[in-house]
């Protein structure tokens, strides 16, 4: 009896310790920067080399797969950097012409006074010659005026150096604001970074070329526009942004979280809220163009000010939802929301049936 009682007491003590440890482990964090730092680690794309081995892990820090839903509205003005319209090849010849003409111009200026002087002298002796018919006028021949024709063309290059010099002060970076309408933008799909596969269906009415369905099974792509029944076969190397690679949208999401964690900003922990996936930290931070452009490696005219709201799960520190809004007159007025789920638990993505894949067109060999 005593033995049973002691065993029960020991078991109750162990359960108490386990409950206490579990309670400590699940205690919400209050340091907003620590929450964001953990989220950056959790949203880091998986290592494609080790993720497919037996040592692969689904623990935070290796984002292997995710399901996402993107919705957007409004309009954003993206600053696209353009090269200055100064023709570089023409600058060098103009500069060389200016260099060669400048020495020639200096003799011309010195020669013209001498010619004028010689002309005045020749005119003077001609009058004195009429008075005294001596042989003195003959040593000053009129051919001395022959240098005057050569300097006369040289003053024409002088406006060219001034024109080329005026190109210097013009600012080299020029930016053109490209408005991108986002109304009724919607995209949904799965991304598997381990197997380099992705399946996305979406529509961006403002840019029709970005609407339709895309399946990526490396190294192939299968795409079809809205309403089509067959897919077009392609290569994933031709995609401007490959969603199946860690350098694609997954990296962009991680960088957005890294922007919020930047020490130059002041994120605010709004509190804990219940999301569909579980309890989440709600964090709000006001973004500035300098921090955004530093993290994304873009020009200073590409992004404006805005507000970013993040919902980061207590369990795993994955970003369950992010909402970006802006009313910056130079950047636009828009709202973008991304909701993520099924972290590291996405179903396998496979190529469509062969009957739905159009055979690639073969160029005719007929003469």
**CATH classification of the domain holding 256:** 2.50.20.20
Q: Are residues 56 and 149 in the same domain?
A: no
Q: Are residues 181 and 291 in the same domain?
A: yes
Nearest CA among 260, 242, 273, 247 for reference residue 324: 260
Nearest CA among 351, 65, 345 for reference residue 215: 351
Of 119, 139, 170, at which residue does a domain stop? 170
Q: Are residues 165 and 182 in the same domain?
A: no
* Model confidence pLDDT, tens digit, residues 275-325: 998 999 999 999 998 888 888 765 445 667 899 999 999 999 999 999 999
| Whole-number Å distance between alpha carbons of 180 and 177 | 10
The answer to whether residue 163 scores a pLDDT higher than 90 is no
Least confident piece of the model among 6-10, 69-73, 228-232, 330-334: 6-10
In the predicted model, what is the mean pLDDT of residues 233-248? 93
Choose between 200 and 359: higher pLDDT: 200
pLDDT band at 125 (very low <50, low <70, confident <90, very high): very low
The reported pLDDT for the residue numbered 292 is 85
Number of domains in the chain: 2
Backbone angles phi, psi at 32, to 5 degrees: -65, -35
The reported pLDDT for the residue numbered 28 is 85
Q: Are residues 238 and 304 in the same domain?
A: yes
Domain that holds residue 234: 26-82+176-351
b/e burial code for range 163-176 (CB count within 10 A of at least 16 → b): ebeeeeeeeeeeee
pLDDT band at 48 (very low <50, low <70, confident <90, very high): very low
State if pTM tops 0.85.
Answer: no
Least confident piece of the model among 62-76, 140-154, 258-272: 140-154
Say which residues have a Cβ less than 8 Å from residue 299's Cβ, sequence separation at least 6.
79, 81, 173, 175, 293
Q: Are residues 204 and 332 in the same domain?
A: yes
In the predicted model, what is the mean pLDDT of residues 206-222? 90
The reported pLDDT for the residue numbered 113 is 43
Q: Are residues 206 and 239 in the same domain?
A: yes
Mean pLDDT of the chain: 73
The answer to whether residue 23 scores a pLDDT higher than 50 is no
């Amino acid at each position: 009896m005593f033995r049973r009682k002691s065993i029960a007491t020991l078991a109750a003590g162990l359960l108490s310790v386990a409950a206490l440890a579990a309670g400590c482990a699940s205690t919400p964090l209050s340091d907003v920067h620590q929450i964001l730092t953990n989220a950056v680690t959790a949203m880091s794309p998986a290592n494609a080399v080790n993720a497919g081995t037996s040592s692969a892990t689904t623990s935070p820090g290796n984002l292997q797969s995710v399901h996402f839903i993107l919705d957007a509205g409004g309009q954003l003005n993206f600053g696209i950097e353009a090269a200055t319209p100064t023709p570089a090849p023409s600058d060098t010849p103009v500069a060389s012409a200016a260099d060669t003409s400048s020495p020639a111009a200096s003799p011309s200026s010195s020669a013209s006074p001498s010619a004028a002087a010689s002309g005045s002298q020749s005119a003077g002796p001609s009058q004195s010659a009429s008075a005294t018919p001596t042989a003195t006028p003959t040593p000053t021949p009129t051919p001395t005026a022959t240098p005057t024709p050569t300097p006369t063309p040289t003053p024409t290059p002088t406006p060219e150096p001034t024109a080329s010099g005026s190109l210097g002060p013009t600012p080299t970076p020029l930016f053109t604001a490209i408005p991108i309408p986002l109304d009724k933008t919607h995209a949904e799909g799965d991304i598997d970074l381990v197997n380099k596969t992705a399946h996305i269906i979406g529509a961006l009415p403002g840019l029709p070329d970005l609407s339709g369905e895309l399946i990526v099974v490396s190294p192939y792509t299968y795409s079809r526009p809205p309403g089509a029944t067959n897919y077009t076969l392609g290569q994933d190397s031709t995609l401007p942004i490959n969603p199946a690679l860690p350098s694609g949208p997954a990296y962009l999401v991680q960088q957005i979280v890294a922007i919020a964690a930047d020490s130059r900003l002041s994120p605010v922990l709004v509190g804990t809220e219940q999301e569909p996936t579980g309890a989440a930290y709600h964090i709000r931070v006001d973004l500035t163009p300098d921090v955004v452009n530093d993290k994304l490696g873009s020009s200073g005219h590409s992004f404006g000010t805005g507000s970013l709201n993040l919902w980061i799960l207590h369990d795993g520190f994955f970003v369950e939802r992010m909402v970006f809004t802006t009313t910056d007159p130079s950047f636009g007025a828009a709202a973008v929301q991304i909701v993520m789920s099924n972290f590291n638990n996405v179903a396998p993505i496979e190529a469509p049936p062969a009957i739905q894949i159009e055979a690639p067109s073969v160029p005719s060999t007929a003469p």
